[in-house]
Amino acid sequence: MASGATHLLALTSLITASVQEIVSAYPNIPHPDSTSLGIYDDPESIPPELSKAIQRVEAACAQLSCAVTSPGHVIVNHAEPASLLVVTQARIADYLLDKPDGLHVSELARLSGLDESKLGRILRLLVTSHVFREVKPNVFSNNRLSMKLLSSDPVSDNVCLLTDESLTASSHLNESMIATEGSKIPFERATGLPFFEYHKTVRDRFPRAMVGWGNVTGKGLLATVYPWEQQPADTTICDVAGGNGHVTMGLMKAHPHLKVVLQDQEQVIVMGKQFWNREYSEAVERGRVQFVPFNFFQDTAVKGCDFYYIRSILRDWPDEQSLLILSNVRKAMKPSSRLIIHDTVLRQAVRTTSPSPSQKDATFQDVAPEPLLPNYGAARIRTYELDMIMMNLLGSAARTLDEFLSLCGTCGLKFEKLYEAGETDLIEFSPV
């Protein structure tokens, strides 16, 4: 193990080199106080090599901070989530839009109906975490981070999901793990309802939150990281439980030679048709997209498609239910079909020389340079937080690559390749 001083200096050197790489590529980076769009706001526009430099900075800065800061300060520094929920639901960022000089907290309290003193304290905490800006005493304005809290941005719904339902559930995690009676799922203990039943009563938030999560993690990278341009004309992609199909719509717009079959529950398909007619009517009129209702636990997917695409679905379900979904896709596949699972793939937090099954299959997974954790530490912490969210809300889990391989192998699917796609990955399988 390296000495503490050597560790600090190595982190500092890594930060300096990575920042220089970023500045060389983008010398006009906006200041954090700016409300202008930054080059990092859209993960899909960042070249892969620059994305790695950003991850190195994020990971090394967090690791350096933990190394030099009092452990007590680090471990108790987690008061922001409840404050984020307050300002997001009160639409504080909306009231500050196009007001570079800001508004006094008394005016924000009047507009939002919140207590002035409490709102001021909440905003000051968030300003200290670089969310919003205090331009003069008790006068606040938006900045680059608070712009993501605008009600027009689906990321704001994701923030509410994480700081409301998820935070409520997390307070019951310990109880759910030690209790001998009642539900083992924290969210069900907190609300008395399964998560998807609960969200039948708040229909707007969850779908928009999932769009917001996709925006944060780079859903559009689907169109660029896989060699779709090499596929022949009229290659058909079955979007399994694809919601309104916004992800495969983006893929088709980037690669018009593809065709899409959208499958989901009947009521979702009705909304999907409306969405496509509004956003991409040309594809509907030319017969480039089909809408086929189904239940992925009971029905076989449309047979004979070239690709079957499952995005952010399997992490919602334990292995037993995931096997049902995969089996109903496997039954539909022809020998040349491919399954693309687009999901979070957890990396190990320890360096090892013992090859895992996936390593034996010579898959590529990037490993961070030392002295960083091999999984890029804080730069990829959202994937591990997602795993905890799945545990708390649904009693399910994000998975490692080896866990995906085991699950799919049980259904007669052979691993082909992993493609990195921002904070998620594409895992390609073929039928055995």
| Beta pairing class for 345-346 and 399-400 | parallel
Residue range 190-216: average pLDDT? 81
- Residue 43: the pLDDT is 77
| Share of the chain residues as helix, strand and coil, in percent rounded to the nearest 5 | 50, 15, 35
Residue range 381-398: average pLDDT? 93
Highest-confidence range of 215-229, 340-354, 414-428, by mean pLDDT? 414-428
pLDDT at 21 over 90: yes
Q: Where are the alpha helices (DSSP H) in 244-347?
A: 246-254, 266-279, 281-285, 319-330
Residue range 225-235: average pLDDT? 97
Looking at domain 81-148, its CATH class is mainly alpha
Q: Residue 300: which residues within 8 A CB-CB, separation 6 or more?
A: 294, 328, 331, 332
pTM of the model: 0.85
Instruction: Identify which of 249, 317, 237 has the alpha carbon closest to the alpha carbon of residue 283.
Output: 249
Q: Taking the domain 218-431, which CATH number applies?
A: 3.40.50.150
Residue range 164-193: average pLDDT? 94
304-315 pLDDT per residue, tens: 999 999 999 999
Q: Residue 206: which residues within 8 A CB-CB, separation 6 or more?
A: 157, 161, 199
- Where are the chain's structural domains? 4-76, 81-148, 154-204, 218-431
- Residue 362: the pLDDT is 41
318-368 pLDDT per residue, tens: 999 999 999 999 999 999 999 999 999 999 888 877 656 555 444 556 788
Residue range 373-390: average pLDDT? 91
274-299 pLDDT per residue, tens: 999 999 999 999 999 999 999 999 99
Q: Residue 243: which residues within 8 A CB-CB, separation 6 or more?
A: 207, 210, 264, 268, 272
Percent of the chain beyond pLDDT 90? 69
Highest-confidence range of 41-45, 48-52, 102-106, 365-369, by mean pLDDT? 102-106
Residue type present at position 385:
E
pLDDT at 394 over 70: yes
Percent of the chain beyond pLDDT 70? 93
Residue of higher predicted confidence among 77 and 94: 94
